Amino acid sequence: MSTPTLDKHSAALDAAEDGASHLITVTFRIRRFNPEISEDASWQDFQLEIDPKERVLDALHKIKWELDGTLTFRRSCAHGICGSDAMRINGRNRLACKTLIKDISPEKPITVEAIKGLTVMKDLVVDMEPFFQAYRDVMPFLITTGNEPTRERRQSAEDRERFDDTTKCILCAACTSSCPVFWNDGQYFGPAAIVNAHRFIFDSRDEGGEQRLEILNDKDGVWRCRTTFNCTDACPRGIEVTKAIQEVKRALITRRF
């Protein structure tokens, strides 16, 4: 037999499905870290009355604005575009602004912590510099030789399709920080850098493919990938990250791209 609390949650969740607005009580268990106070991180619970149709980002705002102004996290667009609010929610990397409370078992405490593999600076904020350095290292820009064309560089729809998926990356780091190889060795380029190399390697207008492949042929490059698919599962843009990594590996072997 379900408890009255669970009944209340179920009714509110049903109402949420129907589009009605009902508040439920949700516990957010947040991993706090402030190096100015302690070297150790610890969990802190916050209880909120909140509409389950709201997003985890809305809950974090409510906590910051109404309960504890010291709670620190990144966000900008709040609509799944800027990639700044990737975090581990109930043990899985997600964007807080794209995660509805009703979809993540709000009858139990919802855990929120910083993404793994990057140094935590405060609460949910990590140092993204190693991540962006790997991105810069694969030269994520069009490389061409010869004279500037007098008109646009044309490309067939078929050629454009080859790298369409990897153009969708918003550099949120959800993939790289879900990768066990990256957790164990932060020197690994990581899935996001490879995705962004893929975007140019397979672009028929680009002439830097060989250079990028050589960069990724490094001991910290694509061969470190163990095909665990964590990256594909984590990507909020639905990019087939593991497939892109496999295509780069194949291009390294065949030198055809």
Backbone phi and psi for residue 136, each to the nearest 5 degrees, phi listed first: -65, -35
Stretch that binds ligand SF4, among 35-43, 140-148, 170-178, 199-207 (CB under 6 A): 170-178
**Is the CB of 89 or the CB of 213 nearer to ligand FES?**
89
Tell which one of 83, 117, 130, 209 touches ligand FES (CB under 6 A).
83
Distance CA 253, CA 183 (A): 27
**Residues with Cβ < 8 Å from 191, sequence gap 6 or more?**
175, 176, 179, 182, 225, 231, 241, 242, 245
Stretch that binds ligand SF4, among 9-17, 58-66, 153-161, 188-196 (CB under 6 A): 188-196
Look at the alpha carbons of 76, 81, 86, 91 in this order and tell me if their dihedral is positive or negative. Answer: positive
Burial of 187 from C-beta contacts in 10 A (0-12 / 13-18 / 19+): middle
**Is the CB of 9 or the CB of 249 nearer to ligand SF4?**
249
Chain centroid offset of residue 101 CA: 18
Neighbours of 235 (CB within 10 A): 24
**Is the CB of 56 or the CB of 213 nearer to ligand FES?**
56
Tell which one of 85, 107, 113, 206 touches ligand FES (CB under 6 A).
85
Which of ligand SF4, ligand FES, none sits in contact with 175, Cβ below 5 to 8 A by type?
Answer: ligand SF4
**Is the CB of 110 or the CB of 174 nearer to ligand SF4?**
174
Question: Could you list the residues that contact ligand SF4 (CB under 6 A)?
Answer: 83, 169-175, 191-192, 195, 234-235, 237, 239, 241
